[in-house]
Chains A and B, each alone.
Chain A
């Protein structure tokens, strides 16, 4: 499967600021996703990043808080805006082909701490 390079791997940010996380895939992928994972919890899907159009957000997540870009089939960014301590989490990007039986593969994750 393809390889995703995600950065930064970790960051400590002040509340009220914003952080942009980048994911670069080494080949074109049809679908890209952004997840959040709280310590000891499973992955929660934030949104599907759509190439050339607005992302599709899951319930509880909004564009103003988590703007997403996907300018092409190999790159996507997630911004965590106006951060608060509750945003402290691991953020993961994922890529997947279109086939039903194609698996998703993940970036290494960004460990975010908001102080």
Chain B
């Protein structure tokens, strides 16, 4: 099993939609997780940290499910500018393959 797995997408959603991505990880001892956003031809940039109790920042909510070993990212009221690749990161800075999101008018 890979250390981290993501659905590559693409997720094509209309503006205003709610979309959720999951990322599963294999190391049950993992303690810290992150979601990064990567725009085309740009470097990844931190979107959110994922805390045990969940984490919300505006339209974005990140959650951790230790029992099932996955983290999730929920985006509400999608904007065109949310179109990007979303990468989950597990400890030791192992990146998932990324989930592509395309928000259309």
A residues with CB within 8 A of B: 1, 33, 35, 41-43, 45, 92, 94, 96, 100-101, 103-109, 111
Q: Which residues of B contact A106 (CB under 8 A)?
A: 43-45
Question: Within the assembled complex, what's the spacing in Å between the Cα atoms of A1 and B87?
Answer: 19
Chain B binding surface, main DSSP class: loop
Q: Which of A42, A107, A109 contacts B95 (CB 8 A)?
A: A42
Question: Within the assembled complex, what's the spacing in Å between the Cα atoms of A41 and B97?
Answer: 6
Question: Within the assembled complex, what's the spacing in Å between the Cα atoms of A101 and B44?
Answer: 17
Q: Which residues of B contact A94 (CB under 8 A)?
A: 93
Identify which of residues 83-105 in chain B touch chain A, using a CB-to-CB cut-off of 8 Å.
Answer: 87, 89, 91, 93-98
CB within 8 Å: A-B pair count: 43
Do A42 and B32 touch across chains, with their CB atoms under 8 A apart? no
B52-86 vs A, CB cutoff 8 Å, 1 = contact: the mask equals: 00000000000000000000000000000000000
Chain A binding surface, main DSSP class: strand
Q: Which residues of A contact B94 (CB under 8 A)?
A: 45
